[in-house]
Amino acid sequence: MQLSINRESLLKAINLIAKAADKRHNMVILGNIKLQLSDSELILTASDLEVELTSTLKLPAGACVEAGTTTLPATKLKDICKSLPAQAQVNLATQANERCLLTSGKSRFTLGTLPSEDYPSLGNPENITPLTISRNRLTDLIHKTQFAMAIQDVRYYLTGMLFDVSQQQLTTVATDGHRLALARSVINVSEDLNMQAILPRKAVIELERLASELGKMLGDQDNVVTLSFGREFLQVSLPFGDVDSAGQVSQDLMVTFTARLIDGKFPDYRRVMPSNTDKLALFSQEKMTDVLRRVAILSNEKSRGVVFNFASDGMVEVRANNAEQDEAVEMIQAKYQGEPMELSFNAAYLQDVLGVIQGDLQMHMSQSNASVLVNQLNDEFHQYVIMPMRI
């Protein structure tokens, strides 16, 4: 294999996929990027057997000196290309002794390779259900809910995000058992389509990253994304070529995202949504953020508990204390409807919600030991449930 390519083109293709490589995996080759070179294109693949990212780069005439395949260490290849001067020409040539020679100007690097035929592939989804949605809406659905995914849990299905299609809406749900985040968007599908799929945590983060990277390129422009759900996999293809004056992205560089879905049964999130709430509090998001940031300083380091005392309309007391007998108390202005009540939250859970909403905050409550529904004023498309705690 022999390739001569512009540094910027190669580095962009590598940057988009390199995070999927996993050098800590017990399969050493998964720390590498697979390169497949033909006369017309270069295909780069990185995978950890859960998420597979592929960059397909169309090549100018003469870039392919000799077609072939190999695998190179992902981090080293990325760092070398990143360190080269802008607009440098990069030359890659495999050698007979499982080595690859990378040269650019006066620089020369020799990298170890591993056989490309040993590189595993996730394959393609079967029995596809395609969902078309705007990239901005997809980014919103993921960003507004991904913080509530469990990080480590024996209930492995909680370490991912549910994509639920019903009643011509796509709903994303994440929960760790202590709080739940839900976002929904209307999509153009048949009325009788019902489908659920659980996307693993790493895949969720990678999909959001790719959608956000594309958003940075397009600025105010939006584009349509097709989510191809199969029985075992989700696949998405995104264009990352040059952007023309009309805001259209060329397909000279395409990134294909493939992720293995979690095989499990996600809890029925509808059953945990509070319904019989007879108490309502309305706060300023900005003021609540400031008050929580200050009061939580003196909360217990493990529980992060903060107490809300709803005594009357107009002001709510927020307080926290810890094992060292430190205490913080602050009053915050609020509109409150209901009987006096006191309940406690993990401050971090409420702060996470505050971090993804922009307007005034509503808290729908029933009693001190029942879950609380939180949402932004006049926004029913994003809802958050937080379990109270005992202090």
User: What percentage of residues in the chain have a pLDDT greater than 90?
Assistant: 83
Q: Cα(69)–Cα(131) distance, rounded to whole angstroms?
A: 34
Where do the domains of the chain lie, and which CATH numbers do they carry? 2-118 (3.10.150.10), 129-269 (3.10.150.10), 274-386 (3.10.150.10)
CA distances from 360 to 301, 334, 389 (A): 28, 10, 24
Beta-sheet pairing, 341-346 with 195-200: unpaired
> Which are the contacts of 205, defined by CB distance < 8 A and separation ≥ 6?
146
Q: What is the pLDDT, as a whole number, of residue 248?
A: 83
Q: Cα(97)–Cα(259) distance, rounded to whole angstroms?
A: 34
Q: Cα(90)–Cα(4) distance, rounded to whole angstroms?
A: 6
Cβ pair 225, 133 in contact under 8 A: yes
Q: What is the pLDDT, as a whole number, of residue 66?
A: 95
Q: Cα(124)–Cα(253) distance, rounded to whole angstroms?
A: 20
189-207 core/surface letters (b: 16 or more CB in 10 A; e: else) = beeeeeeebbbbbbbbbbb
**Does pLDDT of 31 surpass 80?**
yes
**Does pLDDT of 133 surpass 70?**
yes
Cβ atoms within 10 Å of 245's Cβ, excluding its own:
5
pTM: 0.92
- For the stretch 216-254, pLDDT in tens is 988 878 889 999 999 999 999 999 998 887 778 889 999
Q: Cα(346)–Cα(244) distance, rounded to whole angstroms?
A: 48
- Average pLDDT along the chain: 93
- For the stretch 152-184, pLDDT in tens is 888 889 999 999 999 999 999 999 999 999 999
Cβ pair 139, 223 in contact under 8 A: no
Cβ pair 270, 373 in contact under 8 A: no
Average pLDDT over residues 257-262: 96
pLDDT level of residue 390 (50, 70, 90 thresholds): confident
Cβ pair 179, 146 in contact under 8 A: no
Q: Return the biggest CA–CA distance within the chain.
A: 80
pLDDT level of residue 19 (50, 70, 90 thresholds): very high
**Does pLDDT of 54 surpass 70?**
yes
User: What percentage of residues in the chain have a pLDDT greater than 70?
Assistant: 100
Q: What is the pLDDT, as a whole number, of residue 125?
A: 87
- For the stretch 266-278, pLDDT in tens is 999 999 999 889 9
> Which are the contacts of 290, defined by CB distance < 8 A and separation ≥ 6?
none
Q: What is the pLDDT, as a whole number, of residue 329?
A: 95
SS3 sequence of the chain: CEEEEEHHHHHHHHHHHHHHCCCCCCCHHHHEEEEEECCCEEEEEEECCCEEEEEEEECCCCCEEECEEEEEEHHHHHHHHHHCCCCCEEEEEEECCCEEEEEECCEEEEEECECHHHCCCCCCCCCCEEEEEEHHHHHHHHHCCHHHCCCCCCCHHHHEEEEEEECCEEEEEEECCCEEEEEEEECCCCCCCCEEEEEEHHHHHHHHHHHHHHHHHHCCCCCEEEEEECCCEEEEEEECCCECCCCCECCCEEEEEEEECCCCCCCCHHHHCCCCCCEEEEECHHHHHHHHHHHHHHCCCCCCEEEEEEEECEEEEEEEECCCCCEEEEEEEEEEECCCEEEEEEHHHHHHHHCCCCCCEEEEECCCCCCEEEEECCCCCEEEEECCCCC
Q: What is the pLDDT, as a whole number, of residue 221?
A: 85
CA distances from 255 to 88, 142, 169, 343 (A): 23, 19, 26, 48
- For the stretch 72-103, pLDDT in tens is 999 999 999 999 999 999 999 999 889 999 99
Q: Identity (one letter) of the amino acid at 285?
A: Q
Q: What is the pLDDT, as a whole number, of residue 391?
A: 61
Mean pLDDT is lowest, of 267-271, 310-314, 375-379, for 310-314
pLDDT level of residue 351 (50, 70, 90 thresholds): very high
